[in-house]
Amino acid sequence: MSPVAWRTPPRQYGAWETIASNITEGLVEAGWDVTLFATGDSITKAKLHAIIPRGYEEDKSVDPKVAEYLHLSEVFDRAHEFDLIHSHLDFMALTYSHLIKTPLLTTIHGFSSPKIMPVYEKYHDNYFVSISDSDRQEGLNYLGTVYNGIDLTLHDFHEKGGDTLVFLGRIHPDKGTHLAIEVAKRSHRKLVIAGIIQDEAYFKEKVAPEIDGKHIVYIGPVGAREINELFREAYALLHLNTIPERFGLVLVEAGAGGVPVIAMDKGSCREVISEGVTGFLVCDVEGAVKSLDRIPELDRNQCRKRVEDHFSLPVMVSQYEKIYQKIFDLEKES
């Protein structure tokens, strides 16, 4: 069950839809019989079932809550047809779980607010998977951590790279876009910013005034082809998150392209980045500026290899298969 904010897989932004797509396609490739519940324009080799034609972020005539609950109810109306429901739809699906006999597995892609925690607390006995060891909530029935995996065939490897610094992600204070700008200015390097504007006020106050089209460039949301072009000229990716990172899919995408990462040492960054091998973990802007001089020490082949070994599609699917089997075994015992 994928979210219905965007298409699955998304055209540009949409991390949860990306992972839902990757798991679906990987399971189909491994021989599983999979039905993907997503938007009607989604692309999949699985059986696609949709009640929402297009994502509500792409069709503003759609009310988000109406779309989400029509989508949810469709899945749970058909729950008896499946051995397992795997949800990527945050806390909302949990509220249906005690009404069905089919086991529900929820991949928690992050806790968006303390306000949603009462739902997790009420349904703590469900099955959960975390996407990093650092992003866990005490008291939930975790069956394991499964790192997000990407389809490496979509990501070109660039052995040399260029001179440009890259910020890729949603433009929001949490992601530290303004800190990436500060690093670029202090190091006298060009910065290309790519991603959706999630906080308009922040963009207008902290980002837009710095954009000059030459040294600080904003290119908007990007898809896979544009990301490959962006990484082709990249010296390093700046990921100066101001809050603990839940996983950081962009860190893996950069690694697949052979691009070293400089990230704040918060949350899962330490799990994704191999310090001094695929990038550097820092505590502030000064540390990030200093780390730029050490980028040539890193072997870009190691950046790609770490993704192949830990964050590839086959690795993720294999780990989820083990989680599924654990659920089936537990259900037999109950």
pLDDT over threshold 90, residue 296: yes
How many domains would you assign to the chain? Answer: 2
Does residue 22 sit in the same domain as residue 92?
yes
pLDDT in tens, 72-99: 999 999 999 999 999 999 999 999 999 9
Residue 113's pLDDT is what? Answer: 87
Q: What are phi and psi of 277, to 5 degrees?
A: -120, -50
**Residues whose CB is less than 8 angstroms from the CB of residue 27 and which lie 6 or more positions away in sequence, other chains included:** 34, 46, 317, 320, 321
Q: Identify the CATH number of the domain in which residue 181 sits.
A: 3.40.50.2000
Range of the domain at 93: 15-149+312-333
Whether the model clears a pTM of 0.85, i.e. scores above it, the answer is yes
Q: Is residue 56 part of a domain?
A: yes
CA-closest candidate to residue 12, choices 247, 191, 253, 177: 253
Average pLDDT, the chain: 96
Residue 36's pLDDT is what? Answer: 98
Does residue 321 sit in the same domain as residue 260?
no
Q: What percent of the chain has a predicted confidence (pLDDT) above 70? A: 100
Identify whether the C-beta of residue 147 lies closer than 8 Å to the C-beta of residue 131: yes
Residue 48's pLDDT is what? Answer: 98
Does residue 290 sit in the same domain as residue 324?
no
State both tokens at 17. Answer: 């839809």
Q: Is residue 301 part of a domain?
A: yes
Does residue 52 sit in the same domain as residue 131?
yes
pLDDT in tens, 220-245: 999 889 999 999 999 999 999 999 99
Does residue 158 sit in the same domain as residue 145?
no
- For 110: left if phi > 0, alpha if psi spans -120 to 50, otherwise beta; the answer is left
Identify whether the C-beta of residue 151 lies closer than 8 Å to the C-beta of residue 22: yes
Q: How many CA atoms lie within 13 A of 266 on its CB side?
A: 15
pLDDT in tens, 120-179: 999 999 999 999 999 999 999 999 999 999 999 999 999 999 999 999 999 999 999 999
Q: What percent of the chain has a predicted confidence (pLDDT) above 90? A: 96
